[in-house]
């Protein structure tokens, strides 16, 4: 091939790679806190009686914000949030664990809330940051001797299972609405997840992910589950429009599990969705009512006054069947 053609082809290769990089940074942009004055739910620590301690730690040079919820227990649940959310969005479930005798540790991934980073990077980031959190806990004099349990939803649901490839000694894991393989999920879902990036050849997507995540791309939830004897609960709604129950989900690999300590919860009827699986029937109905009422307020001050009238506990009540199973599994 003539030198000129080689240079042209190289330029095209580079431009396609850079296109993937640009689109990734757009998709996985930074995510900051919502305005709680106009946002309902038990996602604001000031709406609770919970006590916590801020504990910062490093992940690949980025300072991440962690939150330790003490409860005089030797059992510590690490709570891992989903994409386009932060640690405090899971306060309703942290509150549940605290009320059932556990301590909790939650944290924000890179580019989220008080954690450093101008972007959230990609789907394998939750695994990388969870590894950093566990390393920190194992080095902290007040936390290192506690039994570690994991709870994660969606992005976090992937992390809490795939981390078992690295830390098989975890005592128990509850993964809700999680996906199995971060490396292939964007390609599998195409436009639904990635928009423009789906139009680019798979090899550029693979190359970019390999450059930013390296060895972590090989870790899947399935391999993690089969790498441990830990007790595990896999929960998924059978009408999940975000992570397909029959394809990308962890639960779709059920026939490949060799770990005998895996149990399952399948959300159906009122709680069959990606997020609704987390909440009680009463909470789901109340959310619908609140969201309908919120549409009536065009004036921000009036909306703020309406938010003050909301029962945030009722709005965020956890799914009793699911969380009862989690506690029984951990106990």
159 in Cβ contact with 222 (< 8 Å): no
What pLDDT does 307 receive? 98
Two tokens, residue 235: 């929960």
pLDDT value at residue 184: 87
Q: For residue 47, what pLDDT is reported?
A: 98
The whole-angstrom distance between residue 129's C-alpha and the CA centroid of its chain comes to: 11
The domain locations on the chain are: 31-181+220-330
**What local confidence, expressed as pLDDT, does residue 269 receive?**
84
Which residue in the block uniquely carries the two structure tokens 């680019």?
200
For the domain covering 31-181+220-330, report its CATH number: 3.40.50.1820
Range name among 8-17, 131-140, 218-227, 296-305 with the lowest pLDDT average = 8-17
More confident residue, 193 or 237: 237
Percent over 70 (pLDDT), the chain: 93
Checking if the pLDDT of 192 tops 70, the result is no
With contact defined as beta carbons under 8 Å apart, do 154 and 274 qualify?
yes
- 186-214: average pLDDT: 72
CB of 228 closer than 8 Å to CB of 170: yes
Is residue 145 within 8 Å of 209, Cβ to Cβ? no
Helix (H, G, I), strand (E, B) or coil at 239: coil
For the segment 211-239, the average pLDDT, to the nearest whole number, is 97
Lowest pLDDT segment from 19-23, 192-196, 288-292, 324-328? 192-196
- Alpha-carbon distance of 104 to 113, in angstroms, equals 18
Q: What is the pLDDT of residue 188?
A: 72
- Residue 236: its H or E element: strand 231-237
> Is the dihedral angle over the CA atoms 314, 176, 174, 133 positive or is it negative?
negative
Q: Is residue 190's pLDDT more than 80?
A: no
Instruction: Among 19-23, 193-197, 218-222, 309-313, name the one with the lowest average pLDDT.
Output: 193-197
DSSP β-ladder status, 103-107 and 62-69: antiparallel
DSSP 17-76: HHHHHHHHHHHTB-B----GGG--SS-SGGGS----EEEEEEETTEEEEEEEE--S-SEE
Checking phi first, is residue 249 left (phi over 0); if not, alpha (psi -120 to 50) or beta? beta
* pLDDT of residue 234 exceeding 50: yes
Residues of the chain with pLDDT > 90, as a percent, come to 83
Question: Taking a C-beta distance cutoff of 8 angstroms, is the pair 310, 279 a contact?
Answer: no
Alpha helix locations (H) across 163-276? 182-189, 191-194, 202-213, 221-225
The model's pTM: 0.94
- pLDDT-based confidence at 199, cuts 50/70/90? low
Work out the burial of residue 256: count CB atoms within 10 Å of its CB; fewer than 13 is exposed, 13-18 middle, 19 or more buried. Answer: exposed
- 195 pLDDT exceeds 60? no
At residue 205, the pLDDT reads 86
Question: Cα separations (Å) of 282 from 69, 88, 227, 270?
Answer: 27, 21, 38, 10
Tokens 């972007």, residue located: 119
């Amino acid at each position: 091939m003539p030198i000129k053609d080689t240079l042209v082809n190289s330029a095209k290769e580079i431009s396609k790679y850079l296109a993937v990089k640009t689109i990734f940074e757009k998709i996985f942009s930074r995510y900051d806190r919502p305005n709680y004055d106009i946002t309902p739910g038990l996602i604001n620590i000031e709406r609770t009686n919970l006590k916590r301690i801020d504990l910062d730690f490093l992940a690949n040079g980025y300072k991440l914000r962690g939150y330790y919820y003490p409860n005089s227990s030797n059992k510590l649940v690490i709570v891992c949030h989903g994409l386009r959310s932060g640690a405090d969005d899971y306060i309703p479930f942290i509150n549940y664990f605290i009320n059932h005798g556990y301590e909790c540790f939650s944290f924000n991934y890179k580019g989220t809330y008080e954690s450093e980073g101008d972007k959230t990077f990609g789907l394998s980031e939750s695994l990388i940051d969870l590894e950093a959190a566990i390393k920190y806990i194992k080095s902290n004099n007040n936390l290192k001797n506690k039994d570690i349990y994991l709870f994660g939803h969606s992005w976090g649901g992937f992390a809490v299972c795939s981390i078992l490839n690295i830390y098989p000694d975890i005592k128990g894991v509850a993964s809700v609405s999680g996906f199995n393989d971060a490396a292939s999920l964007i390609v599998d879902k195409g436009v639904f997840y990635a928009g423009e990036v789906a139009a680019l050849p798979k090899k550029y997507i693979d190359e970019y992910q390999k450059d930013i995540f390296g060895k972590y791309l090989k870790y899947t939830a399935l391999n993690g589950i089969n790498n441990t004897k830990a007790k595990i609960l896999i929960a998924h709604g059978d009408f999940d429009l975000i992570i397909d129950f029959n394809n990308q989900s962890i639960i779709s690999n059920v026939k490949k599990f060799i770990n005998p300590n895996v149990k399952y919860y399948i959300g159906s009827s009122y709680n069959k969705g990606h997020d609704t699986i987390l909440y009680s029937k009463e909470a789901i109905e109340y959310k619908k009512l609140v969201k309908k009422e919120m549409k009536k307020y065009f004036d921000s001050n009036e909306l703020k006054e309406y938010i003050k009238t909301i029962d945030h506990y009722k709005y965020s009540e956890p799914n009793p069947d699911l969380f009862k199973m989690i506690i029984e599994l951990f106990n």
